[in-house]
Amino acid sequence: MTDTPFHFKRGSAPLLISIPHLGQEIPADLRASMTPIAHTVADTDWHLDRLYAFADALGASVLGARYSRYVIDLNRPPDDESLYPGQTKTGLCPAASFRGEPLYLDGAAPDAAAQAERLATYWQPYHDQLTREIARIKAEHGRVLLWEAHSIASVLPRLFDGKLPDLNIGTSDGKTCALAAQQAVQRELEANADYTWAVNGRFKGGYITRHYGAPEQGVHAIQLEMCQSTYMDETYPFGYREDLASRVQPLVGRMVKAALDALG
């Protein structure tokens, strides 16, 4: 692979939207070692570039992955340490889907050397770009809002009990952003009557939120994990639902803007 393993558009505001699970590509050599289930890339954070189309109006920089999380998960620590000890771990180079289905043919799962190569080829460039853009925005504006955009199937018994709340905010229990920003987002959630929500519930923020969020240094990170049922079909072929998306998209936009304004 010689192409940049991410999509990036630079903005003018102190706002960076990161979508590390947007990617659907699997290189041909890896694809040959994977199961038909893996080829569906079912655990993609589908259509979030479309859902976050309001980013342009906010002047946001947007960084999104090209390659599937089945190749390597950009939102996991490079040492693959568990983010939620005691709960099922999906892994840096996952061997199973969120539903527990095998992603590799027998004996074809990546060994330590293959994982190290994927770290260098896919994981590191994304994080290098994230680091550069955070530094650029901070130098220009004095502060950065890093908004981590994620989505997930609403019911996954292997990972959590019952149905997930529709909108899940994670700030590592308030450690990754200023309290004012978290409270501004929460006020938008409290004002809505259509969606269930949680703040620092089952999802407290992944590696990117926890690693880069440093409010004392002017870097404020907030993760939104959305139920995919709020804007798309959760079954193959995972179609975008404009009738659903048109309802939730304005709320997501208000949440991002409220956090940004609170930091201004």
Q: What is the CATH number of the domain that holds 218?
A: 3.40.630.40
Residue 154 lies in a domain: yes
* Domain, as residue range, for 117: 6-262
Q: Look at residue 136 and give its three-state secondary structure.
A: helix
Residue 1 lies in a domain: no
| Residue-level pLDDT at 2 | 52
| Residue-level pLDDT at 1 | 47
Averaged pLDDT of the chain: 97
Q: How far is CA 194 from CA 182, 191, 224, in A?
A: 20, 9, 17
Return the amino acid letter for 91.
G
Residue 150 lies in a domain: yes
Question: pLDDT of 74-117, one tens digit each?
Answer: 999 999 999 998 888 899 999 999 999 999 999 999 999 999 99
Residue 257 lies in a domain: yes
Residue 50 lies in a domain: yes
How many domains does the chain divide into?
Answer: 1
Q: Give CA angle at 100 (96, 106), nearest 5°.
A: 50
Interhelix angle for 242-263 vs 179-191, to 10°? 150
In this prediction, residues 42-71 reach a mean pLDDT of 98
User: Model pTM greater than 0.85?
Assistant: yes
* Structure-token match 């293959």, residue found: 114
Question: pLDDT of 143-200, one tens digit each?
Answer: 999 999 999 999 999 999 999 999 999 999 999 999 999 999 999 999 999 999 999 9
Percent of the chain with pLDDT over 70: 99
Percent of the chain with pLDDT over 90: 97
Tokens representing residue 7 in the block: 């999509």
Q: Look at residue 83 and give its three-state secondary structure.
A: coil
**Distance, CA of 52 to CA of 48 (rounded, Å):** 6
